[in-house]
Structure 1
Amino acid sequence: MSRVSEFNDEYDLELDPERRMLDIESETGELAKELLKASEYGEREVETTQELRDEFGDAYYSLLSLAAECGIDPEEALESSLAKYRERFDSSNSVGSGE
């Protein structure tokens, strides 16, 4: 994550978390569009195109930027989520919250 923070500092790309969230929404939409194109709108298995990789990278960068701007360690957050999902699955054979 320090690479993302350093990059954002170098190019003056810091945003407040609310605006970063809007950026994530935009990047997620672009990723969804490329995923649909890569599967011909669900008609075939997804082809991992360069465009799909690029949009994934953009969305990932935006998520890591939000983590940095909020003081969240993304690895710790991931480990916490995996533990939560393991616990749910072990108790109910589902990773859903059941809500």
Structure 2
Amino acid sequence: MKQAIFNAKISNGNISVPVLGIHTGAIFNKEVELSVGNQTRRGVLQPDGIATDNGFFRFSEIGDAEAELLIGGTATTTVSSTQIDNRGYLGQQPGDMDK
């Protein structure tokens, strides 16, 4: 699997990747490794946190920070296929976006 590393900003409980601009949303629901200071979390990225094997880690717990975001290849959290519809979104039912 290919890997990509981005500089990310965590602010007001949310994450953004300035270099991606309006395409930041494309990184959500992907397996990532997020390093903030000397802490690294692995899991599935959501707009307000990371779903890890040890529960959900909220960005609001960090405050404002610079982070390094590695996408692909290293995360350990698994998501069952029943949680992902045919478009790859967590928590939506097939057809929700078609209405």
| TM-score bucket of the superposed structures, by smaller chain | under 0.3
TM-score by length of 1: 0.26
Give 1 or 2: higher helix fraction.
Answer: 1
TM-score by length of 2: 0.26
Larger radius of gyration: 1
Give 1 or 2: higher strand fraction.
Answer: 2
